[in-house]
Structure 1
Amino acid sequence: MISTRKLLFSTTVLAGIMSFSAPAFAQSAPAQEQEATQVEEIVVTGSRIRRDPTNSATPLIQVEREALLTTGQSTVIDYLATIPALSNSVVPSDTTGGNLNDGGLSLPNLRSLGSGRTLTLVDGRRHVGAAQGSLAVDIDSIPRLLIQNIEIVTGGASSVYGADAVSGVLNFVLRKDFEGLEIDANYGQINQNGEANNRVSALAGINLFDDRLNLYAHAEWDRNEEIKTLDVDWLRDGWLLLGIDADPAATPFDGNTDAILFNNVRRLDRPRWGSTTLANSQPASPLNDPDVPFATCTSLTSPNCYAVDPTRTYWFDGTTARLANFGQRIGNTGTNRVFNIGGDGEPIANFGQESRVGESESQRYQVGSTFAITDNISLTGEYKFITEDTFDVSQPTFFSAFLSNTTYAANQTNVVRAVSQFDLRLDNAFLPSNLRDAILANVVQNYSAPTATQGSQPTTTTARPWAEHRMFGPQRTQDNTREVERFVVGLNGTHDRFLFVDNIAWDLSYVYGEARNENFERGVDVLRFALAADAVVDTAGVLGTPGAIVCRSRLIAASGGVAADRLRGGDLRDSAQGTLDLNQCVPLNIFGEGNQSAEALNYVDATISVSHVNEQEQILGAVSGQLWDFWGAGPIGVALGYEYRREYTEGLGRTRSTGDRLLFLNTGADFPGAEYETDELFAELAVPLFRDGWLGDYAELSGSYRYADYSTVGEQEVYGVNLVYRPIQEIAFKTSFNTSIRVPNLAENFSPFSQTFFNAVNDPCATANIIAQTNTEIRNNRIANCTALAAQQGLTFDFAGATATNVDDFNPIYGSGVAGVNGGNPFLQPEESESFTFSTVIEPSFIPNLSLILDYYEIEITNVIAAVSAQTAANNCVNGASLNSAACATIFRRDPTPGREFYIGAPAGDPIGGFIQGSVNYAALTTRGLDFTARYSYDFEEMNGWNLGRLDYSIGGLWLIEQEQFLNSNDPTDGTELSSGVFFPRVRFTSSLTYTPNSTWSVNWTVDWQTAQDIIDPRDFINNADSRPVDGLNTGNFARHDFTVRWNVRDDLSVRAGVVNAFDAEQSRYLGTATTSNFDPWGTRFFIGLNYRPF
């Protein structure tokens, strides 16, 4: 926990007043107009109590609308991710290719604590979440031209805003009472290769009835072109760190570098549509230099049999086969050395996803109105509809076909071993004759085991007429359609006084949001792929044409044989789907790229769909005002409110459209409707302590409290305490302490179950396991907790140990795996956090237009929801000082067999079984750091009378002191330090310099700079100092330079243009082929845009 000392410090004016910690405070903007591309930090209240913004206690960053419109970044989230506090937000490239059902999502992530721990609001109200059962908001569903500003609270704020504000809040404030027409358009490259983003936005508004009624309408079209792997120049270069020396375990440091960096790397083992390797064995290296380990080829499917080899690996040119060209072979370690420079093979970058950013097209519409019923009461309403289509390509399907004449006869259908493995015979019609002959004549050279000083030596030979054809097959794609609808209706008003309350403001609103998502996933029908690949020549013309190439299964069926169904059992003709598989079969040539007919590819093609809907309802009412001013420091501020919220989700899973097919795709059950409701009461109180007195200029103590009653987790309470002290006008100190919660979302609670098995059960309550436990504390805890657990069932065991005369110990014998389920955990409890901030703000009067801000923050989250295995859950249940109710609730000891009542298990046919494997509350996250901001503006005419315009400079960044996660369920105190690792630079800042010579032109130079980040743990390098070159230990410092020019052509028209990443900064080659988003992987690119307001 954050110590009591810090809580006391947060409410003590004088403690630490001279220590310049840092601001969770956001400074007022200088009087001069700021350059539009700059991130402005100003103080807004972050509270429902109206107060002088210079005296607000809430840490807050504000991003202005102009900054979002004039940036060269294609999305709002890409821009926000350049702010250090949001640097690990989920950008579209993060949800492309490797993920399911979330293509193109943009999710803010404050303090790198997870997007689910950042609360996103629109005008202070909730917004429906994007992913199934999640509350994380896709912020690119908020129309860019409608955004007035974004208020970012960078600390826990659940007592003011509600659950999920563990790391902070993003509040999107929309434009109000707009009148006229505004059109904004932008064309920008999103990759150095030329792929682009196109966006056109329009906003129209009109005032009627003497300005009592305002109506507005917004429309936006936005399109991103797809960025493929080989569209990115540094990925095309094919950089890879490869092993060249393996050390003995006893001497990990031998002075020879273990791995070095290569470029233009290719792989021969699994290209598009394959290479074929004959069975072989590789000689092992001496044990004192174990570059190549000892391995023997013993069976058809053994990986040890198919190391790529210049004399055994075949490449395909059209329909002919030849020995592969290995170019310059690189990488000396391992049995299967698959890498080379030049020659044949697949570019190394192609072994991952094909799409790095998916193709997307979005349309965003919103209409709204405000009607002044009276001078003090207004009725507001708005409706939004968003539709977004995304398409991306992940890693292709991949298969291994084992070629031999040993596993099935010529009059049988081929064997399907797994989703990606099947067998073929050597009479395959598409197998080149020279390759067939080589397989039939293949002999494997056997080798002796190596000794300490001598490698393997040739021994006997064995005939192995086997080969493996490894390939990437058809693509896997996702076509995702996402729709969002949101309705808001509200009443708000102000009153000068009611009873003893002054300056009253109130608001009452209802929000309904609905997010619908449908994902079509394309892959391969595995059984059809195997049947089509098993092609033979119909010599006799049984199927009509003598000499035609046909599917073996069809030829067998037409000849009166049994066409075995290797998936469902029996004959293919026994089921409707099997009959279709048989009758529609088209032979497929899998040997070499470009040899596949469109008809065959269409036959093996498979598509499934998954869909979900999230619904959200919110009723929010709040009133604020001012009470008495007892001692002349100012009136006491107060705010009270009520919130009702309902979250609902349901969906149709992939299994529904899969049917009884075996697909190279994902499966999943339907998600039955699930929901929770919450009723919440909240209050805030702000008490001015003094003003213009001998103690200083101003001080205020404020607090907030929220009570919530959830239908899932019951009653919850959070609170916050804040203090502002301004000793003189130029300096302010601000501190806060807040508790927050994150309630489990519906996906974490109620994801549908799918069956799994708990194999090799190591029961933590078994007496033998308790005795063997070397940790005395855990051993004693298990004795006590297992005794209590058994007592709940009326059972008694001697968990302390068996003796010769004592046979009442617990000695379970699990003969096979225990059935259970993977899925949500309805017994999860809320995550809990404590956050502490201390801020210093300096605006020296002797240096006009200068402001300095430091903001120290500390956040600790406990009871963190994280996934654990059944074994871990069983251990966690009894390892602690008392029974862990959350973990115990997922392990069921209800085997009905006499004598096994305390075994982990359940009655036969039980739909859940003996355990629920999923998430539990056990982990912890901590972070602390120092935000810093400095801004200065220099007006040449104001300062010295020169008509040279104005300079504006700002620098804002983060010094990350600590970012630690505690995910070891066996030892909750065992933390992993992330700071200084990739994605977690110790220091990151954005520097912005703007020169405005006159009212027509402005030029901006922005630098995004971050310190070097460790690629490997330095401690690992100390233990093995020859593991890699020294320059591969970290990424090196990174700096991206952006330049923007703005030209105000006339009062109603402005044009902007710029270059992003002007000097083509790239990520470290040692990071491999992953696109690491915080290093801007897209290279130098240009943009141009305009803003037009004809009236």
Structure 2
Amino acid sequence: MRTTFRSRLLTTTLFVGAVMAAGSASAQQVDSTVTPGAPAPGVVTQEGADTSETSTGDIVVTGTLIKNPNLVQATPVKVVGADEIDLRQSNTAEGLLRELPGITPSIGSAVNNGNGGASFANLRNLGSNRNVVLLDGVRLVPAELNGRFDLNNIPLALVDRVDVLTGGASTTYGADAVSGVINFITRRDFAGLEANASQQISERGDANVFRVDLTIGANFDDGRGNAVFSIGYQEADPLYQGDRDFGVLALSSATGGGGGSGTAVPSRFSLPGQGTRQVNATGTAFVPGNAFTAFNFNPFNVYQTPFERFNIYGAANYQVSDDVEVYTRGIFSKNTVETIIAPSGSFGFAVGIPLNNPFLTDGLRNTFCGANNISAADCAAAANPALTPGAAGYRTVTSALFRRATEVGPRVSEYTTQFFDYRLGARGAITETIDWDVFGSYGESENLQAIQGYTLNTRVRDSFLANNVSSCFAGTAAGCVPINWFGPENNATWTPAAIDFLNETSTVLTRTTLAQARGTISGDFGVSSPISENPISFAVGGEYRKYGASRRSDTLASGGDLGGAGGPQPNVDGSYDVYEAIGELIVPLIQNRPFFQDLTVEGGIRYSSYTIDAAGDPGFNTTTWKVAGSWTPVNGLKFRGNYARAVRAPNIAELFSPVVTGLTNLQDDPCATFNDNGARIRPNPTGNLRAVCLAQGATAATIDSIAQPISGQANSTGGGNLLLQPEVGTSWIAGVVFQPTFVPRLSISVDYFNIKVKGAITQPTPGDAITSCFGANAGSPPAGAATDPNCTVIRRDPLTGGLNGDPNTTPGLFLTQSNLGMLKTSGVDVTANYAHDIGFAKLSLAGTLTWTDESKFQAVPGSYVRDCVGYYSANCGQPIPEWQWTVRGTATIEGVDVSLLWRHIGGTRYEGAADDFAARGFTTASRAIFQGTLPATAGVLAGEQVNFNRVGAKDYFDLTSRINVSENLTFTVGIQNLFDIEPPLVGGEAGSTTFNSGNTFPSTYDTIGRRYVMAAKIRF
């Protein structure tokens, strides 16, 4: 799938040469980056943006269905224009959005373990399922069961601008727009040919990204019609964590030393009353004590996932008559994303070991027998190699096995997504001031996950069932090969036949569909307020959407037989549809009066009726509404405000997913007395704590030897809930826009936002589940807690007493979906833009700042209200800084643009180090992660002074130059992460597995390092 960098660079060179040869061809005049009076590159406000038509000629104003090119709303909209997109040279929409203040990084190219082959955006840290992504104001088919659109499908080559609207937008766009919308606006009436080629490479010669796009468009029939067609290709190479010194070794957040996984090499086995013991390097006996050598999984994982994309976009519009126009748009893309993680194996599930297993030495056998109270005579008799199952004297012992099958190789999931979405519509005029618009669209997304390199739990168990080195007992799977799980890595039993027996390719197919239709009438009746010049504008309409989604897993994936897959992926099938009625009104009350240059009020309402395709489900009805207003007392000063009620209907995953046991993040188990490296961390549990641990499934033989969750991950059980109802969000925004007449081309906006979601569809955090049982100090449960349902719902591994193990026997934490949650966020957005012509140069400065005051979550009433601003943890997921900003300064001199982007991410600290750590579910022993000097086990980082409890502020600078060689040729060159700022170190268990990888947070902080960008663009 990959080509070499040299061939790609040669392709780029040949392309540029051809472009230069064509330099004499006619083309449109190249616009300079900064034109006085026009918006500067960077993030601007809607006041500074061009509210334009799309490639189909459709006027789009984000946040309303009223199509008025002169409309400037009361709701603030951040706008990323075409120049900013060009200067950033982002290759995916997710990569562009994740760097904007106010957007928390979500699943994307920097996420490896937890990436399902799609990219999403998380607006205001309220969840990627609480915003809507639009293309020209219209939804596209989601990528997965949670109803989220895959940003990999956005055709960036045709995007003219990106509008980001904060706050409830459900009135305009329907359910899910609780935190806002992200609207990609395509170019309008494109005519000509444009070709782009770009290459990015790190200073170290890796992390290559290559992209090429070709767009052609034309007007026809004397300008009555326009058609545009675009095709693109992109590929990105993997960047392994082992390729960076800060990622070579998995560091433990708890100790600062070499961490990794307790699923180790050589094998570890559980022994009743002794915890887990690791086999020595020769496979002849157990290492004394509980200590073991953790497996370093980092080098197998990646900081940048391999990615390949083919995309096609086409659009056309035609003026049938003076009053009727037809339009159409089609998108197709095929994306391939690979995730690469450390080898599979046995992650603590139970195996039956015959005492006459041919690889079991006398020393190991005697230890197993002693721990299981088998007499020496019976143990010796059971070692007879002639015994088979059912024979007198045949004995087995049951043990939890922890062993990486490194011999099989890494686990690779290849996600291939084929996506298409087609739209057809017509619009026209009813009167000179009233228009109509009707369209329908249909889209499908099909994601095929090919899972390779995973050992099968059933095959691992079968490979123990042998009394000789060449064949397994009768009743085992066909092709069974005995394997020496007690011996060293790559011992002689790991033959090609054994590896082939242990693993199979598994597949999961996820398919989603969206059919939708909408009809609107908008405009004005020519009626206005007596003291206003502009008429009252309105929009009314109806909308229909039908969602369908299914997941089809083969028996290996659905049955949970894949070792280390994080739980089974059962089949899911569900659908629902919704009928909606919409109304919007904008009323200019006063205009051009003293202290009332403009006073405008807005309103909107949407009624929705949902039908859930499930037996006995009556569905539900919802109503959303908004009121807003703006007041301009004098030219250049505007006050604005907005209050909205939004809803989010439960998606198909939340409704229809079966209850299964998977993995969640948990660093500290109050019942554990040993850490993940086998070292004692606290005394054995006593009193109420001991009673609770026993009530949860620990036994007298395991209670004093429970280990912390492996790699900061514990089992958890949860699933969908057909009783879920829509959640309700309320948002209000108040702000001011200042455009002083005495400083031309300066604009400043300041807006306060406040969003709260009640009845939120959520599940408890791991910290909530622990605190609800073990008390505020997560280690001192109250009297009677052993019978408390909040405690007994937590179920432990019967073999080890821990919260890891076979999902069939170890449900772990119970984290179910409910409507009992609460989410809240508030803060201030500041946007400033300035442009000035100093004669020999045109200068511009554009900046946007977000101060986040609170980002709160409460799982159920009465539980702790967790505020994640300024913190990172498994509960908060990833760093949520209080301060973020981006500032771009650009100078244009004779067709050359030189631009510097400054991106600031405020400092954060570990949640366990908070002043109210006990209420947040942290014990005194676990509140501090680590601070000190990394020991020798940290390899190249040895001796470095670190503080895993705190991440300082980070500042990144990107320097870009765009050179207009001629009217039809532009070169762009740049250096990203100019000062090669390395990411902060926090170890591997400080946050959630999805975002805390390679000892840092790769989605938040740059792990690639300094890299160079080269691009060429030709236009005819």
Judge same fold: TM > 0.5, yes or no: yes
The correspondence for 1:1036, drawn from 952, 970, 983, is 952
Partner residue, 2:119: 106
The correspondence for 1:120, drawn from 116, 126, 133, is 133
Q: 1:485 to 1:593 in 2, by over 3 A?
A: same
Partner residue, 1:1062: 978
- Secondary structure in structure 1 of the residue aligned to 2:110: helix
- Secondary structure in structure 2 of the residue aligned to 1:711: strand
How far does residue 472 in structure 1 lie from its aligned partner after superposition?
A: 4.1
How far does residue 670 in structure 1 lie from its aligned partner after superposition?
A: 5.6
How far does residue 59 in structure 1 lie from its aligned partner after superposition?
A: 1.4
How far does residue 748 in structure 1 lie from its aligned partner after superposition?
A: 1.1
- Secondary structure in structure 1 of the residue aligned to 2:885: strand
Q: 1:38 to 1:57 in 2, by over 3 A?
A: closer
The correspondence for 2:871, drawn from 981, 996, 1007, is 981
Partner residue, 1:295: none
How far does residue 1001 in structure 1 lie from its aligned partner after superposition?
A: 1.0
Residue by residue over 1:809-836, the C-alpha shift from the partner in whole angstroms, topping out at 9 and shown as x without a partner, is: xxxx999xxxxx9642222110101100
The correspondence for 1:700, drawn from 600, 607, 612, is 600
Contact 2:346–2:401 at 8 Å: present in 1 too? no
The correspondence for 1:374, drawn from 315, 321, 324, is 321
Matched, 1:629 2:528: yes
Q: How does 1:940-959 map to 2 (within 5 A)?
A: 940-941=838-839, 948-959=840-851
Contact 2:43–2:79 at 8 Å: present in 1 too? no
Q: How does 1:825-840 map to 2 (within 5 A)?
A: 825-840=721-736
How far does residue 530 in structure 1 lie from its aligned partner after superposition?
A: 4.6
- Secondary structure in structure 2 of the residue aligned to 1:210: coil
Partner residue, 2:1016: 1090
Partner residue, 2:858: 966
Partner residue, 1:1078: 1004
Residue by residue over 1:244-294, the C-alpha shift from the partner in whole angstroms, topping out at 9 and shown as x without a partner, is: xxxxxxxxxxxxxxxxx45xx3769655xx2368x9xxxxxxxxxxxxxxx
The correspondence for 1:600, drawn from 498, 504, 525, is 498
Task: Give me the whole-angstrom Cα distance separating, in 2, the residues matched to 1:31 and 1:220.
Answer: 33
Task: Give me the whole-angstrom Cα distance separating, in 1, the residues matched to 2:928 and 2:757.
Answer: 39
How far does residue 148 in structure 1 lie from its aligned partner after superposition?
A: 1.7
The correspondence for 1:725, drawn from 606, 631, 637, is 631
Partner residue, 1:283: none
Residue by residue over 1:375-404, the C-alpha shift from the partner in whole angstroms, topping out at 9 and shown as x without a partner, is: 33211112221111222222321338xxxx
Contact 2:43–2:78 at 8 Å: present in 1 too? no
Matched, 1:710 2:597: no
Contact 2:514–2:548 at 8 Å: present in 1 too? yes
Structure 1 unaligned residues grouped into runs of 5+: 1-28, 244-260, 280-298, 325-333, 340-344, 401-416, 447-463, 498-502, 538-549, 554-562, 565-570, 573-577, 757-812, 816-820, 877-890, 892-915, 942-947
TM-score under structure 1 length normalisation: 0.68
- Secondary structure in structure 1 of the residue aligned to 2:441: strand
Task: Give me the whole-angstrom Cα distance separating, in 2, the residues matched to 1:658 and 1:727.
Answer: 63
Partner residue, 2:479: 581
- Secondary structure in structure 2 of the residue aligned to 1:68: helix
How far does residue 506 in structure 1 lie from its aligned partner after superposition?
A: 2.2
Task: Give me the whole-angstrom Cα distance separating, in 2, the residues matched to 1:191 and 1:510.
Answer: 48
Q: Which amino acid aligns with 1:482?
A: T
How far does residue 427 in structure 1 lie from its aligned partner after superposition?
A: 3.8
Cα RMSD after superposing both structures: 3.9
Q: 1:141 to 1:306 in 2, by over 3 A?
A: same
How far does residue 30 in structure 1 lie from its aligned partner after superposition?
A: 7.9
How far does residue 925 in structure 1 lie from its aligned partner after superposition?
A: 0.3
Partner residue, 1:15: none
- Secondary structure in structure 1 of the residue aligned to 2:951: coil
The correspondence for 1:920, drawn from 818, 826, 840, is 818
Task: Give me the whole-angstrom Cα distance separating, in 1, the residues matched to 2:764 and 2:305.
Answer: 32
Residue by residue over 1:411-453, the C-alpha shift from the partner in whole angstroms, topping out at 9 and shown as x without a partner, is: xxxxxx936785675742xx8xxxx58758989999xxxxxxx
The correspondence for 2:339, drawn from 387, 392, 413, is 392
Task: Give me the whole-angstrom Cα distance separating, in 2, the residues matched to 1:660 and 1:741.
Answer: 35
Contact 1:735–1:838 at 8 Å: present in 2 too? yes
The correspondence for 1:216, drawn from 228, 233, 237, is 228
Partner residue, 1:77: 94
Residue by residue over 1:164-199, the C-alpha shift from the partner in whole angstroms, topping out at 9 and shown as x without a partner, is: 110001111122322111111111136855121111
Contact 1:390–1:480 at 8 Å: present in 2 too? yes
Task: Give me the whole-angstrom Cα distance separating, in 1, the residues matched to 2:400 and 2:100.
Answer: 54
Partner residue, 2:104: 87
Task: Give me the whole-angstrom Cα distance separating, in 1, the residues matched to 2:351 and 2:951.
Answer: 36
- Secondary structure in structure 1 of the residue aligned to 2:843: strand
Task: Give me the whole-angstrom Cα distance separating, in 1, the residues matched to 2:657 and 2:191.
Answer: 47
Partner residue, 2:423: 488
Partner residue, 2:330: 383
Matched, 1:314 2:281: yes
Matched, 1:229 2:241: yes
Q: 1:822 to 1:923 in 2, by over 3 A?
A: closer
Residue by residue over 1:120-146, the C-alpha shift from the partner in whole angstroms, topping out at 9 and shown as x without a partner, is: 111111111111x32211122011112
Q: 1:481 to 1:741 in 2, by over 3 A?
A: same
* Higher Rg of the two aligned structures: 1
How far does residue 754 in structure 1 lie from its aligned partner after superposition?
A: 5.9
Task: Give me the whole-angstrom Cα distance separating, in 2, the residues matched to 1:825 and 1:305.
Answer: 37
The correspondence for 1:526, drawn from 457, 462, 468, is 457
Q: 1:323 to 1:134 in 2, by over 3 A?
A: closer
Task: Give me the whole-angstrom Cα distance separating, in 2, the residues matched to 1:476 and 1:486.
Answer: 32
Q: Aligned pairs, how many?
A: 808
- Secondary structure in structure 2 of the residue aligned to 1:511: strand
Contact 1:656–1:669 at 8 Å: present in 2 too? no
Task: Give me the whole-angstrom Cα distance separating, in 2, the residues matched to 1:527 and 1:48.
Answer: 56
Task: Give me the whole-angstrom Cα distance separating, in 2, the residues matched to 1:197 and 1:379.
Answer: 38
Task: Give me the whole-angstrom Cα distance separating, in 1, the residues matched to 2:731 and 2:540.
Answer: 23
The correspondence for 2:209, drawn from 197, 200, 220, is 197
Contact 2:356–2:467 at 8 Å: present in 1 too? no
Q: 1:932 to 1:314 in 2, by over 3 A?
A: same
Partner residue, 1:676: 576
Matched, 1:517 2:447: yes
The correspondence for 1:364, drawn from 295, 301, 311, is 311
Among the aligned pairs, what percent are the same residue? 23
Partner residue, 2:515: 617
Residue by residue over 1:567-587, the C-alpha shift from the partner in whole angstroms, topping out at 9 and shown as x without a partner, is: xxxx34xxxxx3x234x7788
How far does residue 590 in structure 1 lie from its aligned partner after superposition?
A: 5.8
Matched, 1:747 2:653: yes
The correspondence for 2:754, drawn from 834, 847, 858, is 858
Matched, 1:58 2:75: yes
- Secondary structure in structure 1 of the residue aligned to 2:952: coil
Structure 2 unaligned residues grouped into runs of 5+: 1-33, 52-60, 372-396, 613-618, 663-694, 698-716, 773-788, 790-813, 873-878, 919-923, 933-945, 989-998
- Secondary structure in structure 2 of the residue aligned to 1:674: strand
Contact 1:525–1:664 at 8 Å: present in 2 too? no
Residue by residue over 1:712-741, the C-alpha shift from the partner in whole angstroms, topping out at 9 and shown as x without a partner, is: 332211110011100000110000100000
Task: Give me the whole-angstrom Cα distance separating, in 1, the residues matched to 2:838 and 2:661.
Answer: 72
Contact 1:615–1:648 at 8 Å: present in 2 too? yes
- Secondary structure in structure 2 of the residue aligned to 1:84: coil
How far does residue 370 in structure 1 lie from its aligned partner after superposition?
A: 1.1
Task: Give me the whole-angstrom Cα distance separating, in 2, the residues matched to 1:424 and 1:114.
Answer: 52
Partner residue, 2:275: 304
Contact 1:315–1:592 at 8 Å: present in 2 too? no
The correspondence for 2:910, drawn from 1005, 1015, 1027, is 1015
